[in-house]
Amino acid sequence: EDVAEAGESMKRWSHDDSASIYYFSDDLISILGSNYDYTGGAHGNFYNFGINLWSREGHIQELKLSDLFSAGTRWKSVLGRYLKQALTKREAHWVMDGSVKESDLADHQTFTISPAGVEFHFAPYAVGPYAQGDFHVVVPYAILRSYLHKTGPLIRWVK
């Protein structure tokens, strides 16, 4: 009978994948993917992932956050500070109580790119409890201008 109950429970499980294009051009595409799972319990959960592809001289490169910035600059501290201020203003609990540090925020790899800036996507449990939901922060190019890689994919928006 326990097996039958488990089988009935599993019928309520669900999974959903989706994707949204944040930017598309001949040489750059930025996509936010999302996965949602419900496997019983109090609630389901989701997480996001960014896919940022840049075509340069016939080669396609998946961009990591560090690829956007010039080496040897203070981009991580500037980015971490900006994200901390924005998330504190929105009362992200684990940023406010110090559990999530500026350095953690500057290493966050779920981002998308658009003419507005670099947008960071924080799923539930990334910077606060599930009840707070997800958080999104756009870091405008005016903040990043001095640190961007001079021949990188984002320089088009700061010339």
**3-class DSSP assignment, residue 63:** coil
Judge whether residue 6 has pLDDT over 60: no
DSSP state of 107: T
Residue 11: exposure state from Cβ atoms within 10 A (0-12, 13-18, ≥19): exposed
* Mean pLDDT, residues 55-77 taken together: 95
Tell me the C-alpha distance between 101 and 94, whole Å: 9
**pLDDT of 10:** 62
* Mean pLDDT, residues 116-143 taken together: 94
> pLDDT confidence of 15, banded at 50, 70, 90?
confident
pTM, full prediction: 0.87
| Residues contacting residue 56 through CB under 8 Å, at least 6 positions apart | 27, 153
> pLDDT confidence of 128, banded at 50, 70, 90?
very high
> pLDDT confidence of 136, banded at 50, 70, 90?
very high
| Residues contacting residue 8 through CB under 8 Å, at least 6 positions apart | none
In terms of Cα–Cα distance, which of 44, 35, 53 is closest to 13?
A: 44
DSSP states of 16-43: EEEEEEEEE-SSEEEEEEEEEEE-SSS-
106 - beta bridge partners?
A: none
